[in-house]
Structure 1
Amino acid sequence: MGLGTLLKKVFGAGDGTQGNQAQSLGEPIEYKGYQIFLQPRALGGQFGVGGLIRKTTADGETREHVFIRADQAPSRDLCNEITLQKARNAIDTLGDSLFPDN
Structure 2
Amino acid sequence: MSLLKKLFGGSSAATPKAPEPEMYNGFAIFPDPLAEGKGYRLGARIEKEIGGELKIHKLIRADTFSASDAAAEAAIQKAKLAIDQMGDRIFG
CA distance in 1, matches of 2:19, 2:65: 20
User: In the TM superposition, what whole-angstrom CA distance separates every residue of 1:59-80 from its partner, at most 9, and x where no partner exists?
Assistant: 3111111111110011111111
Q: Does 1:86 align with 2:78?
A: yes
User: In the TM superposition, what whole-angstrom CA distance separates every residue of 1:76-97 from its partner, at most 9, and x where no partner exists?
Assistant: 1111111011000000000000
Equivalent pairs counted in the alignment come to 77
- Aligned residue among 62, 73, 95 for 2:87: 95
- Counterpart residue number, 2:44: 51
RMSD: 1.6
TM-score w.r.t. length of structure 2: 0.77
Bigger fraction of residues in helix: 1
Aligned-pair CA distance for 1:24? 7.8
Q: Which runs of 5+ in 1 are unaligned?
A: 1-22
- Counterpart residue number, 2:12: none
